A and B are shown apart, each in its own frame.
Chain A
Amino acid sequence: MSWLLVLEQCLNGLQFGVMLFLMAAGLTLVFGIMNLVNLAHGSLYMVGAYFATAAFGWTGSFVLAVVFSLLATLAVGMVVEVVALRTLYERDHLDQVLATFGLILFFNEAVAMVWGRTALFTTVPKALSGHLQLLPGLRYPAYRAVIILVGLAVALLLYVVVSRTRLGMLIRAGASNRTMVAALGVNVRLLYTIVFGVGAALAGLGGLMAGPIYTVQPGMGDDILIQVLVVIVIGGIGSIRGALVGAVVVGMVDTLGRAFLKPMLSTTIGPVAANDAGPALASMLIYILMAAVLSFRPQGLFPAARG
């Protein structure tokens, strides 16, 4: 196998990792600050993808579709927070898991009612449909490259916001002692709603970018949610840095495993056995990684310092 192919798959892994990061960042922020396990985070990803696909269909403009989808997902996130999740912050994790499980059922079915159960297909916008010549012999789809850049930009932006701005200071303060922050006169409820909305918009951003390369269908958020949970367990819950590292590691391992495990196995155990064992093992790889991390560091690689 050529090194260019490996490099290309590494880029694909990075692209998938960046996508996972967009999801993991919102999930880990919401957990770190509100102490809320939100399984419905995958639904917001799905909603983002549907909004963008629909808006792209109406307007024909990808930029408008992106703006519409981001705002709409932000709004959906805030409404869900105010209507259903706000009362759950003080409850134990079991209640949160069950209630957000209920939300998943609702969103999956609601989407199926509006857009049908069959998968929607949407195309990459014309301006991004070409390829970039990265190296001699390595042409990479421009759209995937943009995803990587957007993801890295969001990571940088989040880092700056959380560590350098007043909002970020409130977020960090709220995470370590919410009663104190509330006593100091900060509107904690509003802060929570904003954080949840932003997390939702990030998930929506992941979803809308995923639309043209994966299929848009009911339940599309569930699979990625499970992978995001693996990311968070590996990275350490509540930590943005952990989410980034975990996301890139999981994205790489999963992509490279799916691409190269079968050819590698077929040289050792024969092509027939590898045909079955390769994909089976590849699908388990990130969970094995998770188990390995857990054995060494049960709190993840970068556990957030929490009181």
Chain B
Amino acid sequence: MRIPPASALTVGFVALALVPVVAALLNQPFYLDLVRRIMIFAIAAVSLDLILGFGGMVSFGHAAYLGVGAYAVAIPAFYGVHSGFVQWPLAVGLSALVALVIGTLSLRTSGVYFIMITLAFAQMLYYLGISINAWGADDGMRLARRSQFGGAVDLGNPYVFYYVVFGLLVLLLWLGHRLIHARFGMVIRAARSNEPRLRAVGFATFRYKLAAFVLAGAVGGLAGALLTNQTEYLTPSYMHWTRSGDIMVMVILGGMGTLFGPVLGAIVFLLLEDVLAAWTVHWQVVLGPLLVLIVLYARRGLWGLLAGRG
């Protein structure tokens, strides 16, 4: 069964756009919440795919940026600054800065070192988070109210918030599409397939890779800002390494190196988690082996199957 990608995409976007209508008709606000959460993780997964799938940089620490973005919203809020015009740019800027530091250090290495180092740095931030008592330590902090945008956009309204997230996701995919096919994207993809050759042609590959790493971190930070607004709570566990693993699984499950694969992966992964969790508290005992099977036997990812290419 092959579905032309274009029509699959249209169906997908229309479905996402109609979720609030359906949720309102069925009087099931839970769906709204669930799909919004899925889209937030889709944003994080797409940003990871930029470096993982397109750039071939296996970063196992993407949750760090999610966490930095979340703290960048919750800490100002803790001190009474609720303006999203302050919080969101701070989330993006700060996570870009963190990505710059981590990227500069870890891109000096490659392969398995790179995996371990990104994992270790992310976990360092997690331990930092749980040891700062002033900001809630491992209990985290409640967010008094969602980011305020001067009355123009009220995130307190679940429907408005939903369409903000939806809009950001669509914008990100459009920008991602432009980026992948621009010169920058070409260089990133070329660096994955043959870096020495690219260097020989005269590209400073380190700078391109670092730029992609920082960009991915910045978008991850935005996802983190959205996530604290979604849960109205901040916990250091946003940065826990299993969260990095989850995001990575979404990318692989959906199909890495594709733009829409990670979105599909986030949808399937979180729905699966939801279904399994409703079925048994020990859902991870099912999810774990399922992951192993996916890795062993479904390497192209769902999007690859759907679009019939790989």
**Which residues of chain A are near B60, meaning CB under 8 Å?**
97
- Contacting pair A37 B115 (CB below 8 A): yes
- Contacting pair A279 B108 (CB below 8 A): no
- Contacting pair B112 A93 (CB below 8 A): yes
Whether a CB of chain A sits under 8 angstroms from the CB of B241 is yes
**Which residues of chain B are near A128, meaning CB under 8 Å?**
none
C-alpha gap A102/B287 in the complex (Å):
7
**Which residues of chain B are near A95, meaning CB under 8 Å?**
295, 299
Whether a CB of chain B sits under 8 angstroms from the CB of A156 is no
How many pairs of A and B residues are in contact by the CB < 8 Å rule?
126
- Contacting pair B289 A291 (CB below 8 A): no
C-alpha gap A237/B113 in the complex (Å):
8
Interface size class of B (residues with CB under 8 A): 35 or more
C-alpha gap A106/B285 in the complex (Å):
4
- Contacting pair A97 B58 (CB below 8 A): yes
**Which residues of chain B are near A291, meaning CB under 8 Å?**
105, 121
- Contacting pair B113 A113 (CB below 8 A): no
Residue of A nearest to B114 (CB): A93
Whether a CB of chain B sits under 8 angstroms from the CB of A280 is yes
**Which residues of chain A are near B299, meaning CB under 8 Å?**
95
C-alpha gap A86/B274 in the complex (Å):
31
Whether a CB of chain B sits under 8 angstroms from the CB of A247 is no
- Contacting pair A101 B285 (CB below 8 A): no
- Contacting pair B112 A102 (CB below 8 A): no
Whether a CB of chain A sits under 8 angstroms from the CB of B99 is no
Contacts A276-B133, A276-B134 given; does A105 touch B123 at CB 8 Å: no
- Contacting pair B296 A87 (CB below 8 A): yes
**Which residues of chain B are near A152, meaning CB under 8 Å?**
none
C-alpha gap A295/B108 in the complex (Å):
8
Instruction: Identify the stretch in A13-21, A119-127, A135-143, A226-234 within 8 Å (CB) of chain B at 4 or more residues.
Output: A226-234
Interfacial residues, chain B to chain A (CB-CB below 8 A): 52, 58, 60, 105-106, 108-109, 111-113, 115-117, 119-121, 123-124, 127-128, 130-134, 241-242, 245, 248-249, 252, 282-285, 287-292, 294-296, 299
25 contacts between A and B (CB under 8 A): A31-B112, A37-B115, A84-B292, A94-B52, A94-B252, A97-B248, A98-B252, A98-B291, A98-B294, A101-B242, A101-B249, A102-B295, A103-B288, A104-B242, A105-B284, A106-B284, A106-B292, A107-B288, A108-B284, A109-B283, A109-B285, A113-B282, A237-B112, A283-B128, A299-B113
